[in-house]
Amino acid sequence: MFNISLKNTLRPGFAGRTFKSGYRFQRYWGTPMATAFFCGETGAGLFIISMLLDFMPGIILGLLITGVGKTFFHLTHMGVPSKSWRAILRPDRSWISRGLWGIIFFVGFGSLHILGQIFGVMPEALAQPVYYLALAGAMVVIVYQGFAMSHSTAISLWSTGLMPVSSMLYGLLAGTSLITILSVFGFSAAHMDMVITVQNILLVGVLVTLISLLHGAKNGSKGAQQSYVLLTSDFLARPFLYGVVGIGVLIPLLIGLLASQNTITILVSGVCVLIGFCLFRLLIFKAGVLDPILSPADIFKR
């Protein structure tokens, strides 16, 4: 539907794959990492909302999306998966390490909570601590990727406190949307009217965050300004404006505010949110531009 390849996308001031000084796209994190981020935040968001609603199908599905989906796509990204365990050794220095510990807590205590609820094997004295530790792990998972991106000072688009905010809002939004989708297939949670209201509030929050992100990029460093151009008027503009903003935010928001709630509108709204979030995760990586070593004035003098 959208062409978002980075091949042959040289613009004035871009160095491409040459040794010249200029802007360069980041190529360290690609589609596998974007998909891993999407699975991690979606699963954690679904788990958190489902835990608050005591909605067991959502709790189980959220755990599976993060535990299986996120892990799989992380491993496809890694060059040496057998050494990936080393990342957990420095939680004092790295958000990646903290995130792995969060996943361990999330999956471990989340599984214990499920076993306790389904089979009644959890001692009553441990039930509440396990519940809160699982929630704490899910909260770390839903935000740590945004913190890891915001530490990337060489990529100005990412180097903002809006990254963890967008991770949390999008994860919770995707979670509420999946709960509404599950209700279409007969797995209805309690207080569905409240879930739809929360979905609309989160959609507004995501829209404000996207506008703020673009505003910060437009008025940021030269690299951030290049990212702004890519997302609003260059080859990433159509998937971002039509996909992320239009399909992923405006359509479900209009459905939630103006349309009557039925099977079709609920399903369309939920699917649109997931499409928009997936595109956001992909495009925020594609639009990551490294600032040049020399100033733009030096580049154009050559």
Per-domain boundaries in the chain? 26-301
Q: What angle do CA 269, 271, 274 make, to 5 degrees?
A: 110
At 289, which helix (H) or strand (E)?
strand 289-290
Give the whole-angstrom CA distance, residue 113 versus residue 51.
10
- Return the pLDDT at 83: 57
User: Max Cα separation, the chain?
Assistant: 73
What pLDDT, on a 0 to 100 scale, did the predictor assign at position 130?
Answer: 94
CATH entry 3.90.226.10 includes domain 26-301:
no
**Distance, CA of 136 to chain centre:** 18
| 49, 176 contact by CB (below 8 A) | yes
Q: What is the pLDDT of residues 57-81, one digit of tens each?
A: 999 999 999 988 887 765 665 555 5
Secondary structure element (H or E) that encloses residue 60, with its range: helix 56-64
- Judge whether 2 and 276 are in contact, CB under 8 Å: no
Number of H helices, E strands in the chain: 12, 2
Q: How far is CA 139 from CA 40, 144, 146, in A?
A: 11, 8, 12
- pLDDT attached to residue 179: 96
pLDDT in tens, 35-46: 988 999 999 999
pTM for this entry: 0.86
Q: Note the pLDDT of residue 85.
A: 55
The pLDDT, as a whole number, for residue 300 is: 47
At 122, give phi and psi (nearest 5°): -90, 125
Q: DSSP strand E in the chain: where? A: 24-25, 289-290
Q: What is the pLDDT of residues 91-111, one digit of tens each?
A: 556 656 776 777 888 999 999
The pLDDT assigned to 7 comes to 47
Token pair listed for 45? 């968001």
How far apart are alpha carbons 60 and 58 in whole angstroms? 5
Nearest Cα to 243, choosing from 203, 205, 278, 201?
278
* pLDDT for 155: 87
Instruction: Sort strands 289-290 and 24-25 into parallel, antiparallel or unpaired.
Output: antiparallel
Per-10-residue mean pLDDT of the chain, 302 residues long, equals 49 55 72 89 96 95 90 63 58 65 88 91 88 93 88 85 95 96 91 93 97 94 89 93 97 93 94 97 90 56 47
244 and 232 in contact (C-beta within 8 Å)?
Answer: no
Phi-psi region of 30 (alpha: psi -120 to 50; beta: other; left: phi over 0): beta
